[in-house]
Amino acid sequence: MSVTEVLATEKALRHRITALSRSLREVTVVEHLQKPRYVGYDTIRDADGTTHGRKKAILMSGGCSVPTCTMCPFTNYNNFGLHAANPNGLRDQVATLLHRSDDEPDYDVLALYNDGSFFARREVPADVQIDIARRVAATGVRRLVVESLPQFVTTDTLEPFVDALGDVQLEVGIGLQSADRLVRETLVNTRVTRESFEAAVALMQAHTVIPKVYLMVGPPFLTEAEAVTDVIDSTAYVASRGVDGVTVCPTRLAPNTVAWWLYQRGHYHAPNLWSVVDAVRGAHTKAAVRVACINMRGTDFDSIYPDSCERCANPIVDGLVSYSISGDLVDLPAACRCREPIQPVALDHDHILARTAATMDACEAIA
């Protein structure tokens, strides 16, 4: 195929997958809920070995404004479809979160997620963003973590926010998912371009904001070997942009998503845990790697998690947890006969495009 044909085919597929993704989402009963849907405490370890108490909350905001991603259930648990943030509700949620009671665990890192993009004004209005920064600055928190797609991290949003935060260090989680255009923009179907990612990272670096980059392990429509290649290549790309490390997220399957729809029709499964190990081993030489969504033996939500044989599953997850803390490959399990080690293969775009179209046809035929 010529480059023009490839791009036209990609665009048509992207529209098809976007329409499917939106049609599968559900407006949930949580709409307009005025309290965070999750609040928890844990300890995190920085690259330099220091540990910090963290309070993590997921705010109910205006709902993800670009809810197109094939694997993402989060927007279904937030105000999906609302797309009009309730400023007072958000202010109240943050004020309550910041109120420290005597029996509350100590923390100096505060993560305020919102199942979407904090810097998208349809999700968190501009004046609310600034109010939140001022409130956080007044509470003794040393680091604030938020999440956002890169196109919303602009001079207009970031500069006033950083100013209002004063001495509080800002970290922004960015779901790049993949450095490969076809994988990212069509298979994962997220609205992140390489240009917007690079601009956001450069802007953050200029303001000493920490970028935390997320990569996906096992997007729909890729083989496991391709998925491993994708993580390794994407890690190398992120490192080339001057970012120290990546956080890899093994895909789990959740209802009301394209990934789930494919799974129900026999055309997708969550990645084998050994593929996660292979991806981490390959990426390890490129940058510091953490594994997120570590609750892979967990039961939160109605999800199917990455798995392997019964004997391997728990030791692999334990190994990934240890590795994420130590950064030492010896913490990863060696191998098991239940799964041959994967040899990474190059991403052949023509082949992947044809496979994706054929998979969509086959699944639609099942209906």
Q: Which residues bind ligand SF4 (CB under 6 A)?
A: 64, 66-69, 72, 74-75, 115-116, 149, 175, 190
Minimal distance in Å, beta carbon 113 to ligand SF4? 9
DSSP string for 175-190: EEE-SSHHIIIIIS--
Partner touching 336 among Zn ion, ligand SF4, none, CB below 5 to 8 Å by kind = Zn ion
Of the pair 58, 313, the CB lying nearest Zn ion is at 313
Minimal distance in Å, beta carbon 190 to ligand SF4? 5
Please name the helix (run of DSSP H) or strand (run of DSSP E) that holds residue 40, with its range, or none: strand 38-45
Token pair of 327 as six digits? 């950064």
Of the pair 20, 313, the CB lying nearest ligand SF4 is at 20
Token pair of 101 as six digits? 């009671």
Q: Quick one: which of 199, 309, 325, 357 contacts Zn ion (CB under 5 A)? A: 309
Of the pair 169, 193, the CB lying nearest ligand SF4 is at 193
Of the pair 82, 316, the CB lying nearest ligand SF4 is at 82
Residue 304 found at the interface with Zn ion (CB under 5 A): no
DSSP β-ladder status, 245-250 and 210-217? parallel
Q: Which residue is nearest to ligand SF4 (CB)?
A: 72
User: Residue 140: which residues within 8 A CB-CB, separation 6 or more?
Assistant: 108
Minimal distance in Å, beta carbon 292 to ligand SF4? 13
Residue 336 found at the interface with Zn ion (CB under 5 A): yes
Partner touching 64 among ligand SF4, Zn ion, none, CB below 5 to 8 Å by kind = ligand SF4
Helical ranges in 47-123 per DSSP H: 74-77, 87-98
DSSP string for 254-309: -SSSHHHHHHHTTS--PPBHHHHHHHHHHHHTTSEEEE----TT--STT-B--B--
**Residue among 215, 316, 324, 230 nearest 272 (CA):** 316
Minimal distance in Å, beta carbon 205 to ligand SF4? 22
Of the pair 150, 282, the CB lying nearest ligand SF4 is at 150
Minimal distance in Å, beta carbon 91 to ligand SF4? 22
Minimal distance in Å, beta carbon 45 to ligand SF4? 25
Partner touching 268 among ligand SF4, Zn ion, none, CB below 5 to 8 Å by kind = none
Residues 191/72, Cβ–Cβ less than 8 Å: no
Partner touching 6 among Zn ion, ligand SF4, none, CB below 5 to 8 Å by kind = none
Contact window for Zn ion (CB under 5 A) among 48-56, 63-71, 212-220, 312-320: 312-320
Cβ–Cβ contacts within 10 Å for residue 211, how many? 24
Residue 315 found at the interface with Zn ion (CB under 5 A): no
User: Residue 354: which residues within 8 A CB-CB, separation 6 or more?
Assistant: none
Of the pair 67, 125, the CB lying nearest ligand SF4 is at 67
The interface with Zn ion within residues 19-58 (CB under 5 A) comprises none
Contact window for Zn ion (CB under 5 A) among 24-32, 58-66, 193-201, 333-341: 333-341
Partner touching 321 among Zn ion, ligand SF4, none, CB below 5 to 8 Å by kind = none
Minimal distance in Å, beta carbon 115 to ligand SF4? 5
User: Residue 130: which residues within 8 A CB-CB, separation 6 or more?
Assistant: 160, 161, 164
Q: Considering only CA atoms, give the Rg of the chain.
A: 20
Residue 158 found at the interface with Zn ion (CB under 5 A): no
Residues in the chain: 367
DSSP 8-class letter at 116? S
Residue 312 found at the interface with Zn ion (CB under 5 A): yes
Minimal distance in Å, beta carbon 68 to ligand SF4? 6
- CA–CA separation, 320 and 314 (whole Å): 10
The 51-58 sheet, strands edge to edge: 38-45, 51-58, 109-113, 143-147, 169-177, 210-217, 245-250, 288-291
Residue 338 found at the interface with Zn ion (CB under 5 A): yes
Of the pair 148, 272, the CB lying nearest ligand SF4 is at 148
Chain positions contacting Zn ion, by CB under 5 A? 309, 312, 336, 338
